[in-house]
């Protein structure tokens, strides 16, 4: 991270600690070299394109950085962003609402603290021209649970053949 990015991240941390309102940063100095994830957009939504990137290894009880990028702000009055966390994820008091300027790509780095193992979500609500959209940014602490169903129990048949016994729903 370059000096500008470090200063920007330090400002965000202090703003969160002091409860000061955050302002979006449009200079792009805090961008990382890792690819960002583009959030899906609905046709009838706010029209604000959101991309995000979460620190690769969040730890329980330690602040983790979530980089948000906003584009497509066409309303001359700008757009607003509201943030909310759930699933054991907590935000500082100053990280609840931000106004984004029109016509520029804005970035925002949010510090979130996962409470424990598992998955928590940072919900990002964007409003522009009276329309609101929402996305949920997953923050996974520890290994993600397997999406495979239970493997059941391995038993031996009377002839010695192995049989996998699985429950039926």
CA-CA distances (angstroms) from residue 18 to 5, 12, 160? 20, 10, 69
Residue 120: give its domain's CATH number: 2.60.40.10
At 3, give phi and psi (nearest 5°): -60, -40
Q: What is the pLDDT of residue 96?
A: 77
Q: What is the pLDDT of residue 87?
A: 85
- The residues of the chain scoring below 70 in pLDDT are 1-34, 93-95, 145-152, 166-169
> Looking at the 3D structure of the chain, how many domains does it have?
1
Residues spanned by the domain of 82: 3-165
Residues 6+ apart with CB under 8 A from 127: 46, 79, 80, 81, 82, 133
pTM (2 d.p.): 0.67
């Amino acid at each position: 991270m370059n000096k500008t990015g470090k200063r920007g991240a330090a400002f965000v941390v202090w703003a969160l600690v002091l409860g000061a309102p955050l302002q979006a940063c449009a200079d792009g100095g805090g961008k990382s070299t890792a690819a960002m994830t583009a959030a899906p957009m609905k046709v009838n939504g706010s029209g604000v394109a959101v991309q995000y990137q979460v620190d690769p290894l969040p730890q329980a009880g330690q602040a983790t950085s979530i980089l948000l990028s906003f584009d497509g702000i066409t309303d001359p009055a700008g757009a607003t962003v509201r943030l909310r966390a759930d699933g054991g994820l907590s935000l500082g008091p100053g990280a609840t609402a931000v106004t984004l300027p029109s016509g520029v790509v804005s970035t925002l780095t949010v510090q979130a603290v996962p409470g424990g193992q598992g998955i928590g979500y940072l919900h990002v609500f964007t409003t522009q021209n009276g329309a609101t959209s929402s996305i949920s940014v997953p923050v996974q602490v520890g290994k993600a649970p397997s999406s495979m169903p239970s493997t059941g129990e391995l038993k031996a048949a009377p002839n010695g053949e192995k049989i996998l016994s699985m429950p039926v729903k």
